[in-house]
Structure formats: structure tokens, C-alpha cells
Amino acid sequence: MEPSELLSSFDQYDPAHVQVMHEVLAHARRECPVFHTTAEPGYWVVSRYADAKRILFDTAAFSNRNGVTVHGVGEPRPLPAAADPPLHKQYRDILRPYFTQQAIRAHEPELRKLAQQLMEPWLSTGEVEFVKDYAAKLAYAALFAVFLRSSGAEDIDLFVAGADRIVQESTQDAYAQLMGLVRQLLARRRSSGVEINDMIGAVELGSVDGRPLTEDEKVGMIFSAVAAGFETNYATMALIMHQVVRHPELETRIQGPDWASGHLAEFLRFVSPVTGLIRTVTRDTEIGGVALRAGDTVLVHYASVDRDEAQFPQADTLDFARPNSGQHMAFSFGVHRCLGAPFAEFLIGIGLEELTRRATGFRLRDPELDVPYTTGVVCRPEALPLTFELR
């Protein structure tokens, strides 16, 4: 099927569409930059950088009130993701102190140790399934260590399964399942009677509009950190590693203590792991020459806007000398720009630096293997069985 024929039914959750996503969206950017799809529940897709930027900075006309994934969120609502200004800032300010560069860097020794420990079981074998046995374990263990300290490692498998469903299905049932786990985590923390000065503690004591947070608001805020911070992080490591095994000369780009400050922005632009998130139109308006009505849904397609030639010439090429890689939208823009970005950049930096300090020459175990990708909000290699040599 030609890319143009897929537009009218283009579906973030359909594996056949995801496989040709970049061709379809390149066609859209050229011919019909804002297009309508009949994929459930019916929405507009915004493919160009300039249009996306306008939407993300206009929170009055483009609201987060219905959440950021196409099937809606139900109650409790993920916060601050599903809130609009001015309340949005009050929620975000409660979490913010735990997400600063300084707060994150204080965990460096612990995070490096985690990475080193996770490598021990397989390092000497020269083989690893990189996604499951390194990237995912590191992302989960780090998130629990930094933000959910009191909750206990026994939860990790349950949380992994719950968070995977959010990004791969985004159904209300998936939201309800993970919200339930967060409720249990809070209950256990309370019954332990331990007072810890961490993100959960801040949420417990938090207030907005001069009143304490409700139980649903607390659950929604902890949920956001969990749901937004698991798969995004390990998907990014997996997407970068997939580029490295396809183009071995890229390995030097993920080596050494400074690799992330030099090269991660361009990798993020190129792989843009969160494919697209929605906004709800609050009043009749126009974008890219298309009339939108109050109540319409628009999907801002980050993976598309990060390949927009008008913003990034030769956008389909990884170019580490590109002067504006840092303007990528992998973390979105505006008031909802990813709160976890400093943590993500730090962990991905450490994770690949520690690995490439001990190992080199990464290849797919079966060079003929066609690597399947997941679908949904985050598209990543399902698995990467690799071989490598010890340094």
C-alpha cells in the first residue's frame, strides 16, 4: 500500500502502520501536514515542527484535560500530565525539586553501581539480550532507587508489566491497573510508618489551591512519574543500541564520560521515542490551514516533527555536527516538557558509558534477524540479542 493510502486510517497502535511510520509521515509533511485519521477514536495528526510548536505553547486552545493518549484516561488522572495551567504548575512544583540536575546527580554512585551489578551475570559470556537484561532492568531499578525508595524491589515485575501496557495499549483498563499498583505502594508506605524525605513524602504533604491533595491526586502524581519514566528510558537505550549494531562506526559516539553531553541530543532527535501525544481542542481554531473544532483531538507527532526537513535539513541522517539537535521535541516543548528529562539524560548517559567501558564490538547475534518493534506511544525494538567482546 502507498503511504498516501494509509493516512486516512493511520493508527499509532497498528504494527503494519508503525513499520512504515516514517514514510507515511514524510508524505504527510510534504502533502497534507495536518491530516485526519479514522483510527479510534478519530483524530487529527500534526506532522510539522512549526505547527507542533504552536500547539504546545498555546495551552488555552490545546488542553491536556483529557490526558495525552488517544483512548482517554479516566480517574484518577495522571498529573501533572492531564492538567492545564494554572493548576498544572502547582502540581509540577511539588515534584520539581526531585527532578533537578542537582537532585539527580546526587545519585550518581548508586546508579553506576546498579549498572555494573546488572552486567555481572552476563558480561563474561559475551552475549546479552540488551533490552530485557540490561536496559529495562537498569531503567526500572534506577527509577525505584531514585524516586520510589520505600516501595521495595518485589514490585518491579508488576510495575514493568503495568507500565508496558500503558505505552503499548493506553487503554483505560491499563491505566486502572497501574493506578491500582500505585495505590498499594502508597498504602504500604503508610503502614510502614517510615518518614522519608523523598518524592512520595512530598506528594503526601502536598497542597494545591491552599488545600491538601486528594487521594486521587496523590495517586495520579506518583503514577505519572512511574508510567512516564519506565519504558521511555529503556526504549531510548534500545533504540540507540539498535542504531549502533546497524552502523558499528557509531559505537564511538556512546563511549566515554562525555558522550551524552556531545551526542545524546542528536540520537534523541533521530529516534524520538515517544511517537506522539494528544491535545484536546478547546475552541474553534486553525492549524496548518486546517479548521479545528472545539472538542477535536490532535495528535502531536513528535517522531515526525523531529524529522521535519524545514527544521532539521537532511533530517533522516544522524549528523552529530548538526547545530540545532538540541531543539528536538523528543521531550516535547512548553509547560508539559518532560519533567524527567535530566534524569533520563543522566541515566542513559551512565548506562551506555558503563557498558562500553567493559564491552565493545556489539553485533546482533543473528545478523539476518529482522528486529520487530513494539507499537503504541513508545516504539522500540522488542528484543536485541547481542554479542560483544570484553575490553
DSSP state letter for 66: T
User: Binding to ligand HEM (CB under 6 A): which residues in 155-184?
Assistant: none
List the grid coordinates of 160. Answer: 514493568
DSSP state of 360: E
DSSP secondary structure, 133-194, as one string: IIIIHHHHHHHHHHH-GGG-GGGHHHHHHHHHHHHHT--HHHHHHHHHHHHHHHHHHHHHT-
Choices 122-130, 174-182, 325-333, 367-375 (CB under 6 A): range interacting with ligand HEM:
325-333
User: Residue 52 Cβ, how far from ligand HEM at the closest point, in Å?
Assistant: 10
Helix (H) / strand (E) element for 344: namely helix 341-358
Per 3-state DSSP, the chain is made up of helix, strand and coil in percentages (nearest 5) of 55, 15, 35
Residue 280 interacts with ligand HEM (CB under 6 A)?
Answer: no
Look up residue 214 and give its DSSP letter.
Answer: P
Of 140 and 362, nearer to ligand HEM (C-beta) is 140
267 vs 388, beta carbon nearer ligand HEM: 267
- Which residue's CB is nearer to ligand HEM, number 80 or number 288? 80
* Nearest alpha-carbon partner for 209 in 374, 94, 74: 94
Quote the least distance from Cβ 84 to ligand HEM, whole Å: 10
Q: Which runs of consecutive H residues, i.e. helices, occur in 193-252?
A: 199-205, 215-229, 231-246
Q: Which residue of 7, 55, 68, 73 would you call a contact of ligand HEM, by CB under 6 A?
A: 68
203 or 344: whose CB is closer to ligand HEM? 344
Residues of span 105-164 touching ligand HEM by CB under 6 A: 143
Give the count of residues interacting with ligand HEM (CB under 6 A): 26
Q: Which residue has the cell 562525555?
A: 258
Angle at 8 between CA 7 and CA 14, to 5 degrees: 70
Residue 176, judged by CB atoms within 10 A of its CB (0-12, 13-18, 19+), counts as middle
Residue found by looking up cell 512530598 in the block? 202
Q: Minimum distance from CB of 1 to ligand HEM (Å)?
A: 29
Nearer to ligand HEM, 27 or 77 (CB): 77
Q: Which of 39, 45, 73, 81 binds ligand HEM (CB under 6 A)?
A: 81
Contact set for ligand HEM, span 330-349 (CB under 6 A): 330-332, 336, 338-340, 343-344
Q: Are strands 297-301 and 43-46 parallel, antiparallel or unpaired?
A: parallel
> Within a 10 A sphere around the Cβ of 326, how many other Cβ atoms?
11
Using Cβ positions, the residue closest to ligand HEM within the complex turns out to be 340
Q: Which is nearer to ligand HEM, 20 or 103 (CB)?
A: 103
Tell me how far, at minimum, the Cβ of 61 lies from ligand HEM, in Å. Answer: 15
Confirm if 329 and 272 have CB atoms less than 8 A apart.
yes
Q: Which stretch binds ligand HEM (CB under 6 A): 25-33, 120-128, 328-336, 359-367?
A: 328-336
Site for ligand HEM in 186-225 (CB under 6 A): 224-225
Q: Which is nearer to ligand HEM, 39 or 277 (CB)?
A: 277
From the CB of 384, what's the least distance to ligand HEM, in Å? 17
DSSP 92-128: HHHHGGGGSHHHHHTTHHHHHHHHHHHHHHHHTTTEE
Each residue 222-261 as x (binds ligand HEM by CB under 6 A) or -, in order, gives --xx--xx--xx--x-------------------------
Q: Minimum distance from CB of 125 to ligand HEM (Å)?
A: 28
Quote the CA–CA distance of 304 and 298 in Å, as a whole number: 14
The residue type found at 52 is: A
| Cβ closest to ligand HEM, residue 134 vs residue 331 | 331
CA–CA gap between residue 136 and residue 233 (Å, rounded): 8
Q: Name the grid cell of 230.
A: 519506565
Please compute Rg for the chain using Cα positions: 21
Nearer to ligand HEM, 132 or 363 (CB): 132
State the residues that interact with ligand HEM by CB under 6 A. 64, 68, 80-81, 92, 143, 224-225, 228-229, 232-233, 236, 273-274, 277, 302, 330-332, 336, 338-340, 343-344
